[in-house]
Each structure stands twice: as structure tokens, then as C-alpha cells.
Amino acid sequence: TIGVDWGIFVAFLFGALPLSYWLGRVALHVDIRDYGDGNPGATNVFKAGGGFWGMTAILLDGFKGAIPLWLAMGIGGIAGWDLSAVALAPILGHCYTPFLRFQGGKAITVTFGVWLALTTWLGPITLGLALTFWVLVLKVEAWAITLGMLTLLAVLLVTHAAPPLLGAWLGNFLILVWRHRHEFRRPRSAPPTQA
């Protein structure tokens, strides 16, 4: 087994890898921060390079959330509240990557990866369906993510999730709300902004 400190460090490092940004540089020869909302995340790879490269970026950003948790659980033997702490590390790494002067993405895709590792299909499917529904209804990403995460909480409560899983949800929720805080000033029915 490995200590939780090492688990957090490795998970943060995984999350901090700006894979979508590097993909844009290497495959598309562009800075994806010049597109969409200006963030170095998978959504702007879609806007810069289309569906194939966008899906590649989504998979890369998703798995950088899942892989360190699989390693922590499988090899490191990390569980319980320690696993909650490790689960937040790739999300924070993505948001505040030292590779891009601590100016990272909004952590939506990496959140899917984290919940894939924590709950297998339950978290990603719930989030995917909920976000799709709320984006169509509300149009503003911040409100859609807030209600999507609250939908996930409801499912976790109904399925009697363990307290450490709820702790991971709370930390994830607070990070996402903070990263999208500027969007809450816009009306819930406003069209998405473009940078």
C-alpha cells in the first residue's frame, strides 16, 4: 500500500496534465485557449478541431481523473475518507495546473472520470443525463452543472452511498461552483457566452 499523501500527490499530478491543451498544440497546431470560453479543456478542442479530436480530448481528460483513483484503490489500498481526499486531487490539479501557470479548466470532464472510478456507471450516467437535461432547459452552464451535481447527490442518497462518497461529492460540488462562479450572474435562460 501507499500513503494517502502519495495518493493525493499522484492524483493531483495526473489531473494537472493539460492533455487537451497539449493535444491542441501537437495535433491541431493551435492554442485551444483562443477558442470558446478560453479555457484549456476538452470543449474547446471540439471547437478548434471538430468531433474526432474533441472526443479524444474528452477521453484523455476523463481518464486522467479515473486512472489515479483506480491506482489508489487497487494498488494503494486507499479507501474511506482518504479516498475522498484523493478523489478531489485530480479535479484541483485540472483547475489549477502548474503547467499552465495555475490557469486550468473548469473540471467537468475530469469530474466524470472521478465518478467513473468511484461508482463505475452510476455517477457518469447520472451526470451525463442530468447535465444534458439541465443545459437544454437552462442554457447557462453554471446553473446546469449545479443542478446536475444536485441530481447526482439525490441519486447517491437514494442508493445509500457511504459518507466518504458524499464527502467527495461535496468537495467536487464546491470546486465546480467556484470555477463557474462568474456565470451565475447571467440569467438562467441566457445563451452561452463566447470568449
| pLDDT tens digits for range 103-158 | 999 999 999 999 999 999 999 999 999 999 999 998 888 999 999 999 999 999 99
Amino acid sitting at position 41: G
Short-list 105, 84, 76, 83, CA closest to 93: 105
Confidence of residue 184 (pLDDT cuts 50, 70, 90): confident
Q: Which CA distances in Å does 127 have to 15, 155, 184?
A: 19, 10, 20
Q: Give the pLDDT of residue 195.
A: 33
Q: Rounded to two decimals, what is the model's pTM?
A: 0.91
Backbone angles phi, psi at 190, to 5 degrees: -70, 145
Of all residues in the chain, what percent carry a pLDDT higher than 90? 86
Kindly compute the dihedral angle of the four CA atoms of residues 39, 44, 49, 51, in this order, to the nearest 10 degrees: 150
Q: In this predicted model, what pLDDT tens digit does every residue of 23-59 receive, in sequence order?
A: 999 999 999 999 988 999 999 999 999 999 999 999 9
Backbone angles phi, psi at 6, to 5 degrees: -70, -40
Confidence of residue 193 (pLDDT cuts 50, 70, 90): very low
Under DSSP, is residue 2 helix (H, G, I), strand (E, B) or coil?
coil
C-alpha span between 59 and 63 (Å, rounded): 6
Arithmetic mean of pLDDT over the chain? 92
Q: Give the pLDDT of residue 2.
A: 72
- What is the rounded average pLDDT of the residues 68-88? 96
Q: Give the pLDDT of residue 188.
A: 57
Q: Give the pLDDT of residue 172.
A: 98
Q: In this predicted model, what pLDDT tens digit does every residue of 172-183 receive, in sequence order?
A: 999 999 999 888
Contact 62, 107 (CB under 8 A): no
